[in-house]
A and B are shown apart, each in its own frame.
Chain A
Amino acid sequence: KQEVTQIPAALSVPEGENLVLNCSFTDSAIYNLQWFRQDPGKGLTSLLLIQSSQREQTSGRLNASLDKSSGRSTLYIAASQPGDSATYLCAASGSRLTFGEGTQLTVNP
Chain B
Amino acid sequence: NAGVTQTPKFQVLKTGQSMTLQCAQDMNHEYMSWYRQDPGMGLRLIHYSVGAGITDQGEVPNGYNVSRSTTEDFPLRLLSAAPSQTSVYFCASRRGAYNSPLHFGNGTRLTVT
Contact = CB atoms under 8 A, between A and B. Distances in A.
B10 to A, nearest CB: 10
B1 interface: no
Which label, helix, strand, loop or mixed, suits the secondary structure of the B interface? loop
Interface string B78-101: 000000000000101000001111
Interface of B: 4, 40-43, 45, 58-59, 90, 92, 98-107
Which label, helix, strand, loop or mixed, suits the secondary structure of the A interface? strand
A19 interface: no
Nearest to B98: A31
Contact of B101 (A31, A49, A89, A96): A49
A42 interface: yes
B42 A45 contact: no
B104 A97 contact: no
Interface residues of A, number: 22
Contacts of A36: 102, 104
Given A99-B43, A101-B42, A31 B59 contact: no
A59 to B, nearest CB: 11
A28 to B, nearest CB: 16
Given A43-B106, A44-B90, A97 B45 contact: yes
Nearest to B6: A43
Contacts of B45: 96-97
A71 interface: no
Contacts of B59: 96
